[in-house]
Structure 1
Amino acid sequence: MGKKVKKESCPKDEFDPLSIESKTAATAILMLNSPEEEVLAKACEAIHKYAEKGDENKQALMRLGAIEPLSRLISHEDRIVRRNSVMALGVMASNNEVKNGLKPLDVIPAILSRLSPEENVVVHEFATLCLTSLSVDYFFKIQIFDHKGLEALLQLLSSSDPDVKKNSVECIFNLVQDLPNRAAVHRLNGLSPLLELLRSEFPVIQRFALRTIEMITIDRDTSGAFRNIHGFDRMLEVLATKELSDLHEEALKVICNCLDDSESMLLFQRMGGLEQLLQMVGTSTLAEVQACAVKVVAKMALKNENRKILLEMNIEQTLAGLLALRNERLHMAVCQAVSAVCQNPASRDTFRSLDAIVPIVQLLKNEQSELRWAAAEALANLTNSNDRNAVVICKAEGDKLLVQQLRDSCMGAAVHAASVLTNIASQEELRRSILVNEAIPALVELLDSTDNNVLISATQALASLACDAKARQELRNVGGLPALVHLLKSINADILRNASWAVSVCASDEVTAMALCHAGALETLQEINLSSHRKNKFSILALQKLLDSNLSLKYSLTGHLSTIDIISDGFYDPGQIKMGHRVPSLVEISAQEVNQHRATVVVNGKPPDQFITKTSDEPKHDSKMKGKDQKDDEKKNNEDETKPNQEIVVDKGWSLPCDTAFLKLVEEAAESVLPLQDEVSMYSALAIFVCDTMGGRVDPEKLHDFLWELHISELKFDACSNIVLIGKIKKGIYCHRALLFKGIADRIGLSCSLNRGEYNRAWNEVFITGRKKANGFGKPESFIVDLMHHPGELMKVNSPAALAYQTI
């Protein structure tokens, strides 16, 4: 037997070392709770290796509960445990389930503490890797910002390890997508280390650095700091290096951000940046780079001083040449640049001479909505105050394409297309071409839009097109007037102004004006003009045009008809109505029971079946004196010419009786007054005739004995109506006589106005040409015609006699 060797025994209080070989992740995760540092380190290392194999493994570790102990171990006292746990967590954090699982654990402060200079490079690498994965989530962005993580990340940009640099700059890029972080980078002087990364030998680091600089220079303060630390020099270095051609696009975007102020523009020009930029526009073989360069040109061209420099370098020719290339992104940039350059009027002509307009028109056919938008905007600027460019567009059938853009789902394209049509519509021939392509229905559809820019452009285009009678008729037919009137209630000042402008244009003919009134335009405009904040020059004009088309409403609301306001058949006077209140129609008044209120006096010489409104093409009556036969002939000719467009406006359920007595008065007045050659004699003779018709001369002191009210009441009772025909009044005072004088004068060719005062006072004002002198006629003077007390007397306006006649 051999000699026995005595075994060494361990102390009784120590456990014999035990080597365990585990083949499941669950066992490794259980080991994460071990108090032994060596066990913890090996478990973390095994988990790290397992997680690196794929997303499924990361999810499995997550479900087995690995992230809670790992997030605790990254703050462990042992350096190796800390390192291995950070490596494991850094790899796992790229999985979305893991990110969600980390949210309640408040892990960001612990990870940020691992970025301290005392930690080794491996810890920095995986800690920044973890932050990069988490920083795409807004929840973690806030935590990183609140715990001042940006400062630590900016310091690591100068790390000697490229992986740490790459992870740090990528994480910063993710963070600066939000405004607070962009401002923080500027505050922490982060631009300089980011610019330094452009010298890195690793393209991925350079790209992330440029993309980060691009984001933070959106802020104006940062772009100023970029200029002060020689940022333009670094960008131009990148552009001048052919080996960095894949970075040229990002460098150009940075330059574009930093050219907002004049100082930067001037510096960029002095450094030769403009020449280098234009050379790149013309010679670069990468369309994306060319597009970015053109965008920089477009931004520079927005400033007048830069635009002058660009024009000296024949920028129009360069841009026109780029339209021949087939690249949609490049075409979009060119259109934007054309829009900016065209702020110079001469450039609009230059682009036409370079045949650049037609290619832009053709871009309206492109399937890409953003490109159609840019093309429409370019055409809007090209046609601004340039009729010849408008002709070129229409010859290329651009008007048809522009109308199609009005129905485009891209609202930006519709806005600018409407602007182009507004510019083109200033020419009658082109305007008709637009209408043939059904522009009115397309514009009416836009009136229901909720986009203010669309409404502004659509109403402006309608205002430009509605000066054509056909356009107004089409606008009525497609039901566009109610929508237009509805926009008068808009709180947007531009929409209100343009809608008022469109209404004022549409009210040019009586048919459309009446339709607008039926849609509530009159009441709405009255309300607008009573407001000092909403009132504008177009709302005032629109109200005036509507009133001019309906003299009954005009006289009732304003108390004044001028010499060019010719009273026609169907005119009625319901009395003074306050502005902002509704004036009842004749049909409504006819339906009322006979009452004690003021009678509505009507001037009418047509039978019911002839009540047809004037069409938009009917000319206004001349204020010059004409004989009755001549006026009747002209009236008949006008009615014959416009007969196809005439529309009946009188309610079929009620008809206004013909005032034969009034017609007879007109004939008698014409026979007695028109043969007189002297202007004064004619007015005086007509005044005497009206006075005799309405009850004769009335002494001012005996006015109360002139029982005109009883007479009017009898007429109302006999007619069983509150409506009284003026020809039947045999006892009338100021208001009745002034209305009869105006009604007859307008029919026989005499010119006079009608004015309402208080307490049934009304008067007529006439202009008398002064006596003939050696050098011509004297200055015309205004007179008030006396129809009551001294019939035929003409009193100078504002004289004591005139004032006494006008007031009590």
Structure 2
Amino acid sequence: MSNGTKRVYDARAKYPDRGKTTENSFSVLNVSIKNLQTALLLLSSTEEPVLQAVLSHLAEFARKQDLNIFELKQHLLLEILIDKELFINADSVIIRRFALFLITVILDNTELGEYDAEKTTQLLDVAFRFYLKEVDEFCIEYLTYIVNLCLRDPKVAQTIIENIEFLEKFKNIFVSSDNPDTVLNSIEALHKILQVQSAEEMLEFTTLPGFPVDRIVCELTNEFLEIRLASIKVLKTLLADTSEDSVFDGLQRCFFVLQQLVKAFCLDPKAPDALGIIEVLATALRSAKMTKLFFEQNLFDQMVENLKEIMDTLPSEVVCAIISIFAETAKYQKYLPRIHQADITNMFIKCLMKSKHEPAPFVIMGITRLIAHPEALRAIIGEYAHGAMLRLINLFRAPDVSIKTREQAAELIGSLLVHAFRITADQLIDLDICDALTTTLKQGLPELSIDLILSLLAIIESLADNDEYRAIMGQNVALTEQIAQLLMRSYAHSILVHNIFRCLCTIIDEEPVREILLANYIVSSMKRALKSLSNLVKTAVTNFILQTTRFNEFVDAYIDRGILQVLMLFQKHAFCVSTWGPAIESILSKCPTMKFCIRNYLGFTDITAGKDFYVSKRKFDDFCCFQAILRFDCSPLETVLVVNFDRPTELEADVVCVPSHCLHAADVSGDQKWSYCKRPADRKLPEYLEALNETLALNGLVENPDKIRRSIDFENVAKRSKIIAEAVNSVMGEDIKILDINTTEECSRHTVRCHLEHLRQVYHTNFIPIGEVRSGCQFERAILFKAFADQIGLPCTLQRSVDGRMLYNEVPLPLEMDKDVHCDQKTLKFMPWRMLRPTHIVDLMYNVGELYPMQSRQALQYLRLY
């Protein structure tokens, strides 16, 4: 044949020796192996028939009984298979299936803590690589199951998010798979991944392209119950995010999930997963967007119609669970008419009243939201006659009821008080709500939750808005005691302390409440609150002080028991509490003694009448020293002048007798007994005031009582000031030489000092009534002038000089300019006293009764500053 022609047969010169080939070949070896360890050794073989036979025997061995699986675990089959990488590269699909089957069997009988995270991670690493290259459906099923089991460890579940390549294939297989087991394990694995993510991580993960949310929604109607239950768990987690950026951002997807949920429920309301579907639907309807679609797309009507047909056949727990859906939709008031017209209100009432056990929290929550609709409110009020209010009271007071139900019951009562106060309050009073509140509060923390206590306090506040009901609660000693004791135990929760103080402010007008609070260490609780690190607590207690300084017993307690001291000492630590300063001024305004000691000034609104007013000759840098003198039985080094118009005779309780053995022999003569009194009587001061009023009457300067607090007679301020100054001079002018204001000579201070020394010997104490002082200079006269001015309604100040040796008085006189529209006496006379400004100093020593403009030469001369 030519060279271009292809030969069909070539002659061979040599032929192989077939006999020799037969001699060199290894014949088939059949060995009977009955030892597990020997079988495991064969897993190191490279012959696929051997591996297939061994793995088949191991699988058959594992299927026989669970004890065999534990024996395989003891022989470290799991570790061997991991080291062999589960035979990923085996050409035989049967080998891969057997290897994966054995792994799933072992893991299925393994507790979570038996293997450390490192071994689990190693297994997952092999499974991930296996998963990425495998195409066999059964292997994929086994691998999905293995991944699902390994994700039981949260640390492992957290790391899987970083494997982007695996997640991508995982999503694709899940979306396209028809294998029910693969679908089930994929959904469960996905749920475990979502559980270990934060809100931000979950949002980022679920909004990635290709996230299989639509497939999960579709599985709500799957024929297998396990898949439906798994889908319900994942959807509940996803629907908890109601933000606009969630995976359910699009309206189409929102409608799809609602439609599937309603369809799944309506297909079989008695199915085992019906309660789960209801729970997911209630979670979805927390979103306003979902609720809008639920009503606008007639899904609400579809569900209501279906319920009407089967309501009587449903178990009671399913009926009450269905209400959770309507409880969520009732949050939006515009849908309340449709809800009420569908007879949902009666469903709520029935579940509340007819339930043998305690109603679920969402039942009461739904009623709370429904009462915003007038017709629903009437229906609920109509149940009062059938014991609805008693039912609610019994719920919140019973310790064996779940805390959420108790919270909702108390909140519903508070809401009913807002929407139907009179009829609800009457019901509560008839049912002895005070006793129920006392019993409940007595349980204390931690038995009660913060929210429950806040709701109970809100009930008290609502009832206390009515004087009649507040008086009834005020008479209940036990209730006030429990509130006071609760306050002492609540300082770990600032919001609770804040609300307790606010509640006390509403009932403090009742005298029994004040007595009980003072007896139950309210002052100690307030001290602790003032030293708190929480600005909310400090604001609450200072507000309480502002509300309670109307009552003398509280003012005395604040001064005597150290509240004022804490307020003064901790001012620099309360710069964020706007009511701290006003609380100090509120106390001081009711106690001129302490205000003058601290501020060295009394203004127009600081009235000395009504209680004892003590002024020490000594100026104290620390008011606590003077407070200790007044509180304890000790005598000051300097004279303390006492002003009181209402005590002509001493009270026996105030007189202190000095035992004779405490005195020197020279001090005791015969049967004479020594006694002293820090609250001395003043017989002469009322007489002086009566004489002053007569003088004012003769001059036509007695003010009309109706106008004392409403207007100021500026035209007669100077005249009345002069008359008062002359009255003071006539009282304290004994042995006092009247000097000229221009002289540098001092007044008769020595005479005054001797006179006060004599009075101290007469009274056996340094506490001297101002009416007994017959010789006085600027200091003593200024005190008496202020006392008289406060009695007749003349605006007047009392101020101590910088060196503390002199007191002086100021009065307001408008310095009117011609045709000045901003300074008109007709307008100024109706100005509140707190808005007046001092303009003139009163001369009580030289030109008695003269008024000197402030900063004038005469004023500076009077103050000995010129």
Give yes or no for TM over 0.5. yes
Residue identity matched to 2:690: A
Q: CA deviation at 1:49?
A: 4.6
Q: Following the alignment from structure 1 to structure 2, what is the Cα–Cα distance between the partners of residues 685 and 53?
A: 119
Q: Given the two structures, how large is their TM-score scaled by the length of structure 1?
A: 0.80
Q: CA deviation at 1:156?
A: 3.2
Q: 2:348 aligned with 1:319, yes or no?
A: yes
1:159 pairs, out of 177, 185, 188, with 177
Partner of 1:17: 29
Q: CA deviation at 1:102?
A: 5.2
2:94 pairs, out of 66, 80, 93, with 80
Q: Structure 1 pair 354/722, CA: closer, same or farther in 2 (3 Å)?
A: same
**Cα shift readout 1:524-580 (whole Å, capped 9, x = no counterpart):** 44467667853235x455434422443312333442254573435542235777899
Q: Structure 1 pair 791/467, CA: closer, same or farther in 2 (3 Å)?
A: same
Partner of 1:268: 294
Structure showing greater Rg: 2
Q: Following the alignment from structure 1 to structure 2, what is the Cα–Cα distance between the partners of residues 530 and 668?
A: 45
Q: Given the two structures, how large is their TM-score scaled by the length of structure 2?
A: 0.75
1:406 pairs, out of 418, 422, 441, with 441
Q: Structure 1 pair 757/566, CA: closer, same or farther in 2 (3 Å)?
A: closer
1:426 pairs, out of 443, 465, 469, with 465
- CA contact 1:601–1:726 (8 Å) conserved in 2: yes
CA RMSD, Structure 1 to Structure 2 (Å) = 4.2
Partner of 1:637: none
2:562 pairs, out of 493, 512, 520, with 520
Q: Following the alignment from structure 1 to structure 2, what is the Cα–Cα distance between the partners of residues 40 and 268?
A: 59
Q: 2:182 aligned with 1:182, yes or no?
A: no
**Cα shift readout 1:235-258 (whole Å, capped 9, x = no counterpart):** 222233236744443333333333
Q: CA deviation at 1:209?
A: 0.7
2:749 pairs, out of 697, 708, 717, with 708
Q: Secondary structure at the match of 1:368?
A: coil
Q: Following the alignment from structure 1 to structure 2, what is the Cα–Cα distance between the partners of residues 88 and 446?
A: 62
Partner of 2:80: 69
- CA contact 2:330–2:369 (8 Å) conserved in 1: yes
Partner of 1:787: 844
Q: Following the alignment from structure 2 to structure 1, what is the Cα–Cα distance between the partners of residues 307 and 676?
A: 75
**Cα shift readout 1:509-531 (whole Å, capped 9, x = no counterpart):** 22233223344322444467667
Q: CA deviation at 1:306?
A: 4.4
Q: Following the alignment from structure 1 to structure 2, what is the Cα–Cα distance between the partners of residues 464 and 259?
A: 39
Partner of 2:667: none
Q: CA deviation at 1:473?
A: 0.9
Q: 2:396 aligned with 1:380, yes or no?
A: no
Partner of 1:560: 602
- CA contact 2:483–2:500 (8 Å) conserved in 1: yes
Q: Secondary structure at the match of 1:114?
A: helix
Listed as ranges, the matches of 1:231-630 within 5 Å are 231-242=257-268, 245-276=271-302, 284=311, 285-307=314-336, 310=339, 316-326=345-355, 328=357, 330-342=359-371, 351-355=380-384, 356-366=388-398, 367-370=400-403, 371-384=405-418, 386-388=420-422, 389-408=424-443, 409-411=447-449, 412-435=451-474, 436=476, 438-447=478-487, 448-449=489-490, 450-526=492-568, 533-537=575-579, 539=580, 542-558=583-599, 559-563=601-605, 565-568=607-610, 570-574=612-616, 584-587=627-630, 591=634, 594=637, 600-603=640-643, 607=650, 609-611=652-654
Which deviates more, 797-806 or 424-433? 797-806
Q: 2:169 aligned with 1:169, yes or no?
A: no
Partner of 2:150: 134
Partner of 2:135: 119
1:91 pairs, out of 75, 82, 105, with 105
Partner of 2:820: none
Partner of 1:771: none
Partner of 1:737: 781
Which deviates more, 147-156 or 105-114? 147-156
Q: Structure 1 pair 465/777, CA: closer, same or farther in 2 (3 Å)?
A: closer
Q: Secondary structure at the match of 2:105?
A: helix
Q: CA deviation at 1:482?
A: 0.9
Q: Structure 1 pair 657/360, CA: closer, same or farther in 2 (3 Å)?
A: closer
Gaps of 5+ in 1: 1-6, 613-653, 769-775
Q: Following the alignment from structure 2 to structure 1, what is the Cα–Cα distance between the partners of residues 432 and 608?
A: 44
- CA contact 1:463–1:503 (8 Å) conserved in 2: no
**Cα shift readout 1:132-165 (whole Å, capped 9, x = no counterpart):** 2222221221232232454444333231111111
Q: Structure 1 pair 518/8, CA: closer, same or farther in 2 (3 Å)?
A: farther
- CA contact 1:288–1:330 (8 Å) conserved in 2: no
- CA contact 2:395–2:401 (8 Å) conserved in 1: no
- The number of residues matched between the two structures is 747
Q: Structure 1 pair 610/589, CA: closer, same or farther in 2 (3 Å)?
A: closer
Q: Secondary structure at the match of 1:160?
A: coil
Q: Following the alignment from structure 2 to structure 1, what is the Cα–Cα distance between the partners of residues 784 and 307?
A: 78
Partner of 1:620: none
**Cα shift readout 1:633-690 (whole Å, capped 9, x = no counterpart):** xxxxxxxxxxxxxxxxxxxxx9644556x53243234235336422256654332121
Q: Following the alignment from structure 1 to structure 2, what is the Cα–Cα distance between the partners of residues 20 and 236?
A: 62
Partner of 1:756: 799
**Cα shift readout 1:417-471 (whole Å, capped 9, x = no counterpart):** 2222222222344334445261222222322222334323322222222221111
Which deviates more, 463-472 or 11-20? 11-20
- CA contact 1:300–1:306 (8 Å) conserved in 2: yes
Q: Following the alignment from structure 1 to structure 2, what is the Cα–Cα distance between the partners of residues 611 and 413?
A: 49
Q: Secondary structure at the match of 1:364?
A: helix
Residue identity matched to 1:369: S
Q: Secondary structure at the match of 2:607?
A: coil
Q: Following the alignment from structure 1 to structure 2, what is the Cα–Cα distance between the partners of residues 341 and 237?
A: 26
Which deviates more, 259-268 or 67-76? 259-268
Residue identity matched to 1:567: A
- CA contact 2:464–2:470 (8 Å) conserved in 1: yes
- CA contact 1:90–1:126 (8 Å) conserved in 2: yes
Q: Following the alignment from structure 1 to structure 2, what is the Cα–Cα distance between the partners of residues 165 and 547?
A: 76
Q: Secondary structure at the match of 2:688?
A: helix
Residue identity matched to 1:256: A
Partner of 1:641: none
Residue identity matched to 2:517: L
Q: Structure 1 pair 164/395, CA: closer, same or farther in 2 (3 Å)?
A: same
**Cα shift readout 1:687-712 (whole Å, capped 9, x = no counterpart):** 21213334466543336512538844
Q: CA deviation at 1:172?
A: 1.5
Q: Secondary structure at the match of 2:797?
A: strand
Q: 2:217 aligned with 1:195, yes or no?
A: yes
Q: CA deviation at 1:803?
A: 10
**Cα shift readout 1:52-87 (whole Å, capped 9, x = no counterpart):** 566655444333322211223325311433322221
**Cα shift readout 1:77-118 (whole Å, capped 9, x = no counterpart):** 114333222211122223444753252222212122333373
- Between the two proteins, what is the percent identity of the paired residues? 17
Q: CA deviation at 1:500?
A: 2.7
Q: Following the alignment from structure 1 to structure 2, what is the Cα–Cα distance between the partners of residues 461 and 281?
A: 45
Gaps of 5+ in 2: 1-18, 656-674, 702-715, 815-825
Q: Secondary structure at the match of 1:584?
A: helix
Q: Following the alignment from structure 1 to structure 2, what is the Cα–Cα distance between the partners of residues 349 and 529?
A: 53
Q: 2:693 aligned with 1:673, yes or no?
A: yes
Q: Following the alignment from structure 2 to structure 1, what is the Cα–Cα distance between the partners of residues 292 and 124?
A: 45
